[in-house]
Amino acid sequence: MTDPADLLSILEPTRRDVVRLLAAGLASTGCTRSPPELIVPYVERPPEVVPGVPTVYATSLQRDGYGVGVLAACREGRPIKLEGNPRHPASLGGLGLREQAAILDLYGAERRALAATDPAAALGAAAPDGEGLHILMPPSASPGVLEALQRLRARRPRARIHVAPCWGPAERLEGARRAFGAAVEAEADLGALDVLLTLDADPLVEGPSALRDARRWAAGRGIERPTASLARLYSVEGSPSVTGRLADHRLALPDHAVGPFAAQLLRALDGAPPVGPWADWLGALARDLERHRGRCLVRVGARQPAAVHVIGHALNARLAAPVRYAPTPLGPTTPWRLEPLLDALDGGGVRCLVVLGGDPAHTLPADARWSARARRASRHVYLADAPDPSAALATHVVPALHPLERWGDARAADGTVSLVQPVIRPLVPGVSAETVLSTLAGDTRTDRARLAARWGHLDQALATGVLPDTRATFEARAVDPGAVEAALRQVEGPAPEGLHLSVRPDRRLGLGEGAHNPWLQELPEPVTQVVWDNAALIGRATAAEAGVATGDVVRLTRGARSIELPALIVPDQAEGQLTVWLGFGRAGVGVDAGPLRTLDAPWLTGPVELASVGRRHDLVTTQRHHRLGDEPPVLHRTLDAWRREPDFARHHAEPPPSILPDRLDGETPQREGQWGMTIDLDKCIGCNACVVACQAENDIPTVGKAMVALGREMHWLRVDHYRVDEGPEAGRTLVQPMACQHCEKAPCEYVCPVGATTHSPDGLNEMTYNRCVGTRFCSNNCPYKVRRFNFFDYRRGQPQTLRLQANPDVTARARGVMEKCTYCVQRIRRAQIEARAEGRPLGPAPVQTACQQTCPADAIAFGRVDRADSRVSRERRSPRAYAALNALGTRPRTMYLARITHPDPERES
Amino acid sequence: MSEGTPPLLIGRWTDASLTDALLEPTRRRPRVLTVLLGVTGLGTLMLFAAIGWTFLAGIGTWGNNIPVGWGFAIINFVWWIGIGHAGTFISAVLLLFEQPWRNSLNRLAEAMTLFAVVQAGLFPVLHLGRPWFAYWLVPYPSTMEVWPQFMSVLTWDAGAVTTYLIVSVLFWYLGLLPDLASARDAATTRFRRRAYGLFALGWRGSVRHWRHQRRAQLLLAGLATPLVLSVHSIVSMDFATAKLSGWHSTIFPPYFVAGAIFSGFAMVLTLVVPLRRLFHWERFITARHLDLVAKMTLAMGLLVAYSYAAELFVAWYSGVPAERHLFFDTRPLGPYGWLYWAQMTCNVAAPQLLWFRAVRRRPWALFVLSIVFNIGMWLERFVLIVTSQHRDFLPSSWDLYVPSLIDGALFFGSLSFFAFLMLLFLRVVPPVAIAETKEILHERGTDA
C-alpha cells in the first residue's frame, strides 16, 4: 500500500485510484500504518462489502474528553454518516449537533495542509528521565491515554503533565472533591423527577451525559392525559440556555449572582426567610422543592465556581435528591493547573514541550500569554487537528488522526468503556495522542496491540462498540458539612455592581474545535439563531441604557484589554450581564473573547466597560425577529388549562371540510405503507442536532453568511422559535421543528407546471429534481416555506474532499432546482427493498429518518399511519396532536403534539 | 359624434397629401430620435449582458430568496403584458365597436403591444432556475410521453402569452399591408422599394385585396378581443390560484384586466404625446383623441380603485387573520408600506385629475400623469407580488426582498429594449395607419 496521502488523488480519479480507495475502505479493520496490509482488488469482492449497501461500524467519539458511542455508516470505504450507538449509555441512540458534524471534520480540507512528521523523531530529544519534558493535554477519559500517561510517568519520572483547567470541568470536579472528598460524577434519572432546578446549567445539551439526560428528561414528558404528573423545571441563569428556554419558571440573574442565589436557597430550606429582589421567587421555589422532597434535583453549570457546586451538592443532600455518585473516569488527576507550566516556560526549564491538541494559543485566557511563552521551549511538538494558531508556534507539528481513523478506547461518565476503531485509512499521515504518549513512554506497540492487551479479545466488543460490565458502581455519598460552610462563606457577600462579562464555549464550536466545520458555522445557534458569527449578548434594559442596538459594534474593555464585536439584544438575558461565546476568531469568523479572560476566572470574567464604537456589523440570523399580533402558530397549554379544556387541540387536528376528494379515500392506488411523522413539542428541546443530521444525511450544502443574509440557507429542516407576547405564558419561547409536512393536499403540487413535485402512492410529497425547471411557484405556495432553492451551484469551489462524505443514495441537485425534505425517502425505499427481498411484511415503523434517529430527546416518531399499532398512529390520536396551519386544509402528514407547561399553581394565584 | 367636440382630423387633405404626411417619419429622421436610438441601443446591450450573466451564474444573481421566490422578473412580466393590453384594446375592441377615433392611434398602439409582449415574454423564461428547459411548459409530443402539468396555471400562462404574441403579430402585420404598399409606391430609392415591396406581399389595393384584408382583420379582431380578457385573466390566476393571502382572491381576473388596460392607455399617452409634437401630428391625432384616451384611462383607473376597495373589504369581511394581517398591517405599515402608499397615490389619487377637462386637454399634463400611472402600476405589481410573499403564514420564514443590480439592469434594460424597438419601428413603418386615417377623411367627406 502506498502513502495514504495518495488516497487524496481520488480528486482526479483514475480507475486505479477508485479501486485503491475502495480497497482502503475494505482494509479499514486494520488501519495502522505498519505492517502493510493485503489489498484485495474488487474483482474478488470481499464478503462483507456489498456495493450499495452500507457497512456499519461501532466506534466512539469524544465529548468533552468522555466517550460517546457512535455507529459509523460506510459506503464503499467512505464513512458518510454517524449515528448514536443505542447500546452506549451516553448516547442511547441519539447524538448532539457536534457529534453529527464530526464526520465533516474527517474530510476537512485544512487537515491536508499538515505535513507528515515522524513523531518518534520529533520526540526523540526528550531526556531519558523526563527532565525538561512538559506535556500539555486536554483532559481525557480514555483508558488508553491514561495508561500511557502512567507508563510515561514511570519511564520518565521527571516529566510533568499539565491540563488547562478551562479545557475541562475543573470547577465541577473540584466542587465534588470538596463536598465528597473525591472527584465524582453524579448520576440521576431526569425522567423520574417532580422538580428540576438548573443553576446556570444546560444539562440537556451540555456535559458528557447530556444525551442520556435529554433522553430521560423527555421520557418523563409527552404525557397522554392531563391527569398524569409532569415535572416542573426551574432555571436560574444569566443567558438563556436550551434547557432554560424550557423552564416553567425562569429567573434571569447574572451568572455571578447564581452562587448567592443558591446559598440563599439552601438557607431558605433551613428556614431562613429569603431577602432581596428575588425573595418571593426564591420563597416559592423553596416551598415547591420542599413539597417534592426526594423527587427533585439541582444541577449546577460547569462554569460556576467550585463553591457553588458544593452548595448544589448540599441542596441535593438537603432535598434527598435521587442522585448517586461514582469516581470520575476523567484524567489526569485533578486539580488541574496551568501555572506550573507557565512558570517553567518563564524559567527556561522547558526543553521539550508536547501539546496534545487543544489549540492553546486560541483557547487559553490572554494572561497566559501562550504565544509568547510557548516560544521559550527549545522544542515544541504540537499534535494538530488543523493548521491552527498553536501549530504556527510549534517547532514540530504532528498531524492528529481523526477518531474515525484510529484505534483507541473511551470511557463515558458512568465508566462504560467503548472502543474506537478506524473506519477509513488515515486521510492525513497522522498519529493519535495515545501514540505520542506511548512513544514517550518507550512503548512501540501499535494502538491496536495495546488495545488488545488491555481488553483481551475484542471481536465482540468491536461489534457492539461497548465493553460489557465496565459501568462504575454509583452510590450515595454524604456531603462534608464543613465544606458547605466554607462554600457558603465564599459565595455570600455583597453583590458586585456594574456590567459583568460572562464567556461560554459556543454550543456549536466549543472552544474552537468546530471553527473549521462549515456545517457548524452555518447552523443557527440553538438559542439566538445567529450563524457565522458571535456577538455580545445583552439584555433589553442594559442595551437601552447604553444606547446600543442589535448589530452595533461595541467595545468591551477590561483593564488594558478590549475586544470589539457586535451587540445582540436577547430578551431573556439578565440585565447587567454580557455573554460572549468562545470558539470564534479562528478561521476569520467572529471575534475571540480570549483577551478579556484570565486564568483565575476563565468564565465569569468580572466587570467590563461597554462603549459603542459607532460602527455596524451585520449579524445574520436564520429567523428574523418580528412582533406578532396573533397567537404563535405553535400550540401550547399549561397543564391546568389542559385539564380545564381536554380537547383544546381538536379543531387544530381535524381537517376542515373540502369539496375536493380526499386522497386517503382510495382515489389513488394505495401502496403498503402510508408514511407519517409526529413531533412531540413537549419532548423537543430545540437543540438543532436534527438539523445537522439532516444535512449530513441529505448532502445539503452550506451557502455562507452572505447567502444566509439573503434568505437562501438550504437546511431542509429548521427549528422555528416563537416568543409568546401576551397572556399568562407571556415571555415563553416555543420551538417548533419545521420541515416538509408532506401534505395530503399539497399546495406545491398543483402549481408546478411540469409535474416535478407529485404525490407518491405511499403519501410522500416527492420532488423529481431533474424535471424541475425552477419556477419557484411551489415554494411561494408552500405555507410552511420549507422548500429550498439552489440559487447558485453551491458546491462549486468547495474542497473536493468534502464530496467524499456525500450519501450516494441521495440524488444530487443541480443549480436552479428546488429541493426539500423527503422524509429520508432513501431509507424508506431501502427498508422496502430489504423487506421484499426477505419476503416479509413491513413492520409498523421499519424506518428511522435521520432527524428522528439523532434526536437526543426522542421527540420525533416516524412510521406508518396505515397501521394503528405504530407509534406515529398512536401519537396522531393523542389529545395533544395538531396540524400546523390546520385551517388551510393542507392535511399534513407531519403532526405535532402540543407543548404542555407546568407552572407552579401557587405562583399563578 | 356630438356637436362641439373637436374633430378627429384637422385641415384639408387629399389622399396623396395625407399619404405624404404620414410617410414623413420614415423619411425624415429627427436627430433626437437617432440619439435616442443609440442610447437605447446601449441599454439593450446592457439587457443582454445581464441576461448572459444570469444564464452563466444563476438566478442567485437576483434578489430573490425564500420566501420571495418571485421578484422583479414577475413584476416586470405582469407590468409589460398589462401595457400590451391597451394596444389590443384599441385595435381590436374599438374596431369591433366601430370607434373611428382608434384609426390614427391603432398602429402605434399595436406596435406598443407587440414590443411590450416581447419584453414580457423574456422574463418568465429568464426567471426559471433552468431556463434552457423552458420548453417543458409547452405541450409538445415528447418521446418520453411527458406532458406539462395542466392543473398548473403556469402551463396555461405559457400558452396564453404565446397565443397573444402570435395574434398580435398577425393582426399588426395584416393592418400594415396597405401602408407597406403605399410606402413601396412612394419609395424614393430602389432598396426601399424592394424592401417595402417584399413585405407588402404584392398588395395592389384591388377590391379583392381589401375585401380579404378587411375580413381577416375582423376575424383576428374577434380573436384578439377575448384575448384582451383572457390573457391577463390567466396571468392573474398565476396569483389567484395560490393559497397566499393577497393572491388568493376571486376578484383578480377583472381587476388585472382593468389594471392592464389602465397601464396600457397610460403608455399610449406616454408615447403619443411627444411623438405627436415631434412629427406635428396634431392634425390627425387631435386633442379629441387625447381627450378620449384620457377618459378611457380615467374609467379604467376607477375600476382599479374599486378593485382595491373590494380587496380591502373582502379581507376585512373574511375574518381570516392572515388576510387581515396582510391588508391592514403588512401592506400599509410593513417595510414596503411606503411603496403601498405611493401606489395608492399614483393609481387612486392621481387619476382623479382626469375628471378635469383642463387636464385632459393639456398634452404635457397627460404625459406627466401617464408616467405617474405607469409607475403606479409597476408599484402595484411590486406590492402585490412581494408583500404577499415576504410575510406569509409562518412568521419564522418572514424575510425581506432587496433587488440586486442585475435585477435593475434587467428592468431598465427591458425599458431600453422596448424604446429601441419603438424607435426602429418609427424609422421603417408609417406609425400612423395611412389607410385607416384616409377612412376618416372619406367619412368626413361624405358627411360634408
Q: In which band, very low, low, confident or very high, does the pLDDT at B6 lie, cut at 50, 70 and 90?
A: low
* Cell (9 digits) for A776: 419557484
The answer as to whether A697 is a domain residue is yes
Burial class (CB in 10 A: 0-12, 13-18, 19+), B364: exposed
The tally of domains found in chain A comes to: 5
Q: Which CATH superfamily is domain B49-447 in?
A: Formate dehydrogenase/DMSO reductase domain (1.20.1630.10)
Say which DSSP state A472 is in.
Answer: P
Residue contact A784–B394, C-beta within 8 A: yes
Mean pLDDT over B341-356 rounds to 93
Its sign, for the CA torsion A644, A646, A649, A655, is negative
- Grid cell at residue A626: 418580528
The predicted pLDDT at position B26 comes to: 73
- Of the residues A564, A595, A621, the one at which a domain ends: A621
Q: Which residues contact A49 (CB under 8 A, 6 or more apart)?
A: A22, A25, A26, A55, A76, A77
- Give CA A147 to chain center in angstroms: 28
Question: How far is residue A40 from each of residues A26, A31, A214, A276, measured CA to CA in Å?
Answer: 8, 14, 44, 74
Cβ separation of B396 and A738 shorter than 8 Å? yes
Boundary of a domain, candidates A286, A312, A327: A327
What is the rounded CA–CA span in Å between residue A456 and residue B280? 105
Task: Report if residue A478 sits inside a domain.
Answer: no
Q: How far is B9 from chain A, CA to nearest CA, in Å?
A: 49
The rounded mean pLDDT for chain A is 88
A53, A80 Cβ separation under 8 angstroms: no
| B394/A738 Cβ within 8 A | yes
User: Using the beta-carbon criterion (under 8 Å), do A775 and B128 form an inter-chain contact?
Assistant: yes
Q: Residue A43: what pLDDT?
A: 64
Residues A91 and A117 in one domain: no
Q: Is residue A628 part of a domain?
A: no
Q: Looking at the complex, does the CB of residue A627 fall below 8 Å from at least one CB of chain B?
A: no
Task: Identify whether residues A559 and A605 lie together within a single domain.
Answer: yes
Measure the CA dihedral A638/A640/A643/A645, to 10°: -60
Q: CA–CA separation, A61 vs A455, rounded Å?
A: 19
- Of A306, A327, A348, the position where a domain reaches its end is A327
d(CA B322, CA B242): 14
Of the candidates B60, B131, B241, the beta carbon closest to that of A792 is on B60
pLDDT of res. A670: 59
Residues of A in contact with B57 (CB under 8 A): 792
Predicted confidence at residue B223, as pLDDT, reads: 83
Same domain? A715 vs A768: yes
b or e along A613-637 (b: 16 or more beta carbons within 10 Å of the residue's beta carbon)? eeeebebbbbbeeeeeeeebbbbbb
SS3 A844: coil
What is the per-residue pLDDT across A738-759, written as a single tens digit (0 to 9) for each? 999 999 889 999 999 999 999 9
With respect to residue A651, please indicate whether it lies within any of the assigned structural domains: yes
Angstrom distance (rounded) from CA A533 to CA A254: 23
pLDDT of residue A845: 85
Alpha helices by DSSP H, A638-763: 639-644, 650-653, 689-697, 705-709, 747-751
The answer to whether residue A679 sits within a structural domain is: yes
Given an 8 Å threshold on Cβ–Cβ distance, is A711 in contact with B399? yes
Instruction: Give residue A671's pLDDT.
Output: 65
With beta carbons under 8 A apart, name residues in chain B contacting A818.
129
Query: Which of A567, A559, A564 is CA-nearest to residue A598?
Result: A559
- Distance from chain centroid for Cα B280: 24
Looking at the fold, whether A451 and A524 belong to one and the same domain comes out as: no
CATH number of the domain that A29 lies in? 2.20.25.90
HSE-CB at B176 with a 13 A cutoff on CA atoms is: 24
* Position A490 in a domain: no
**For residue B76, which phi and psi values (nearest 5 degrees)?**
-60, -40
pLDDT beneath 50, residues of chain A: 1-13, 18, 29-37, 664-666
Mean pLDDT of chain B: 88
In the beta sheet, which residues pair with residue A61?
A68
Q: CA–CA separation, A582 vs A603, rounded Å?
A: 10
Same domain, A372 and A315: no
**More confident call, B4 vs A373:** A373
Please indicate, yes or no, whether residues A343 and A395 belong to a single structural domain of this protein: yes
Q: Which residues of B308-343 are buried (b: 16+ CB within 10 A; e: fewer)?
A: beebeeebeeeebebbbbbbeebbbebebeebbebb
- State the amino acid at position A793 in one-letter form: D
pLDDT single digits (tens) B21-78:
777 777 777 888 889 999 999 999 999 999 999 999 899 999 999 999 999 999 999 9
- Which of B67, B137, B321 comes nearest A630 by C-beta? B321
Q: What is the Cα–Cα distance from B239 to B250, expressed in whole angstroms?
A: 10
Q: Mark whether A307 and A349 lie in a shared domain.
A: no
ipTM given for this complex: 0.91
Residues of chain B in contact with residue A770, where contact means CB-CB under 8 angstroms, are none
Distance from CA of B392 to the nearest CA of A (A): 7
Give pLDDT tens digits for A165-202.
Answer: 999 999 999 999 999 999 999 999 999 999 999 999 99
CATH number at residue A300: 3.40.228.10
Identify the CA nearest to A754 among candidates B246, B428, B140: B140
Of B69, B154, B395, the CB nearest to A779: B69
pLDDT at B145 (0 to 100)? 85
Q: What DSSP letter does each residue of A747-814 carry, written as one string? A: HHHHH-TT--EEE-TTS-EEE-GGG-----HHHHT-TT---EE-SS-TTTTS-GGGGGG--TTS----
Chain B residues with CB under 8 Å of A747 CB are 242-243
Cα–Cα distance between A736 and B193 in angstroms, integer?
74
In a domain, A253, yes or no: yes
What's the CA gap between A880 and A864, in Å, rounded? Answer: 19
Q: Return the axis-axis angle of helices A255-269 and A481-491, rounded to nearest 10°.
A: 130
The arrangement of strands across the sheet holding A352-355 comes to A160-162, A133-136, A352-355, A379-384, A396-399
Using an 8 Å CB-CB cutoff, list chain B residues near A751.
Answer: 151-154, 241-242
On whether both A119 and A106 belong to a single domain, the answer is no
Contact B393 A784 (CB under 8 A): yes
User: Pick from B65, B60, B62, B59: which is nearest to B407 by CA?
Assistant: B62
Are A733 and A867 within one domain?
Answer: yes
pLDDT at A10: 41
Residue B447 has pLDDT above 50, yes or no: no
Q: Decide if A91 contacts A211 (C-beta within 8 A).
A: yes
What average pLDDT does range B435-447 have in this prediction? 68
Could you give the CA distance from residue A406 to residue A448 in angstroms, rounded to a whole number?
Answer: 9
Are A151 and A180 in a shared domain? Answer: no
Contact B66 A623 (CB under 8 A): no
A846 plus A821 within the same structural domain: yes
| pLDDT value for B277 | 87
Please tell me which of the candidates B129, B391, B397 has its beta carbon nearest to residue A817. B129
Whether residues A88 and A125 share a domain: the answer is no
Q: CA of A438: how far to CAs of A119, A128, A844, in Å?
A: 11, 14, 51
Q: Which secondary-structure segment (H or E) carries A536?
A: strand A536-538
Per the CB < 8 A criterion, the answer to whether A756 and A774 are in contact is no
Beta strand pairing status for A675-680 and A894-897?
A: parallel
**Which domain range does residue A69 map to?**
4-111
Q: Measured at the alpha carbon of residue A198, what is the angle toward residues A192 and A200, in degrees to the nearest 5?
A: 155
Best A621, A652, A780, A796 residue to mutate vs chain B (most B CBs within 10 Å): A780
Task: Cite the beta strand spans of A263-327 per DSSP E.
Answer: 296-300, 323-327
Task: Look up residue A840 and give its three cell numbers.
Answer: 416479509
CB B327 within 8 A of CB B270: no
Cell numbers placing B438:
384616409
Average pLDDT over residues B237-255: 91
**Residues A623-682: tens digit of each pLDDT:** 887 766 567 789 999 999 999 999 999 889 988 887 776 654 445 555 678 999 999 999
